[in-house]
Chains A and B, each alone.
Chain A
Amino acid sequence: MHELSIAQSILDIVRQSVPEKELPAVRFVTLQVGDLAGVVPDSLEFSFTVLTTNTPLRDAKLHIDHIPFVVMCNPCGKSFTNEIGFVLCPTCGGADTKILSGMELQVVEIELEEIKAEAS
């Protein structure tokens, strides 16, 4: 259960990226999570909610983009996916392969609601 410490790291990044007085306007934090990043999305969302309750970020929701595990076989020039995490090429059986995606764990976007100008 390391999702709580990961959620804390996400909040640290949000606080560094958005001026303090604008934190209540944050609605969505978009996160890329690779299928093999070793993170359970439900636990992460739960941890995020726990850590933001009764804070200026209480209206912020976590939006998770799932990134599939994709591997490229160098000799075949073809890419393939595998839900377990096998990296051997299913066509030639070779091990000369490169992981293209699926290990991501990064914050990519923070969405804020516009603070309406006070009518004078």
Chain B
Amino acid sequence: MSIVTIQRKVLEKNDEIARRNRERFSQKGTFVINLVSSPGSGKTSVLERTLEYFEGKVRLAVIEGDVQTDLDAQRIARYHVPVVQIVTNGGCHLEAKLVEDALTNVDLRGVRLLVIENVGNLVCPSNYDLGEAMKVVVASTTEGDDKPLKYPGMFLHSSALIINKTDLLPYVSCSLEVLKGNALKINPALKVFEMSCTTKVGVPEWCRWLEEHLSG
């Protein structure tokens, strides 16, 4: 037997493209967030509330990732921001190459914030760097307070946690304190926001924090 010893990250190709994306974003002065969650947590609703807040103030662009349909892109187009839909056709996550390809259809000039809405999935997207400045994970109260324990990777790799659907707390068995505590045990540096996209409670706090990260 002969042995070839190497030390190569399995996802090095993705990481390389992500580096290219990141360089491009930095040249354009665009701050990029990778919005992740399980399906139905309210990523698109969080995005809609965010677009409303920044309307007329900050130029934004959106890349939507979904397994099928451009329904989300249609929802976002109502806010008059450039939006590109990536349909993965069964793929469970976005990869840096898909984002790089989508960027050929986005004019980043003057865009200060690009939101990439990932495919609804709390497992696979955590492995794939897209070139974003930060991952933001959305967890909703209807999913229960044990989500961080079941999917630690995503909470570990995220910079902020938005707890959505707080207006439903009286009707579901979910403790905000337990949910936050579980998330912070996995990632003590997580910035936590409590939000209801229906009543809009918590939206300004989240948007103001996000605004602090934008350049110029």
Write the residues of chain A forming the contact surface with B, with a CB cutoff of 8 angstroms: 1-2, 5-6, 9-10, 12-13, 17-18, 27, 31, 36-39, 84-88, 95, 105-114
| Given A1-B124, A38-B153, CB of A109 within 8 Å of CB of B8 | no
> Which of B17-25, B183-191, B192-200 makes up part of the contact surface?
B183-191
Write out, one digit per residue, whether chain B residues 1-21 have a CB within 8 A of any chain A CB (1) or not (0): 111111111111110000000
| Given A85-B153, A114-B1, CB of A38 within 8 Å of CB of B10 | no
Quote the shortest CB–CB distance from B188 to chain A (angstroms): 3
Quote the shortest CB–CB distance from A6 to chain B (angstroms): 6
Cα–Cα, bound, A5→B5 (Å): 23
Q: Which of B10, B186, B187 contacts A9 (CB 8 A)?
A: B10
Q: Which of A1, A6, A88, A109 contacts B10 (CB 8 A)?
A: A6
Q: Which residues of B lie under 8 Å from residue A39 when comparing CB positions?
A: 127
Would you call B7 and A86 a contact (CB within 8 A)?
no
Query: Interface size of B by Cβ–Cβ distance < 8 Å?
Result: 33
Least CB separation from A18: chain B residue: B4
Q: Which of B3, B184, B187 contacts A110 (CB 8 A)?
A: B3
| Given A18-B4, A87-B185, CB of A2 within 8 Å of CB of B127 | yes
Tell me the B110-159 residues at the A interface (CB within 8 Å).
Answer: 123-124, 126-128, 149, 152-153, 156
Tell me the B41-92 residues at the A interface (CB within 8 Å).
Answer: 91-92
Cα–Cα, bound, A2→B95 (Å): 11
Would you call B95 and A5 a contact (CB within 8 A)?
yes
Q: Which residues of B lie under 8 Å from residue A13 when comparing CB positions?
A: 6, 8, 10, 12
Would you call A37 and B124 a contact (CB within 8 A)?
no
Would you call A88 and B188 a contact (CB within 8 A)?
yes
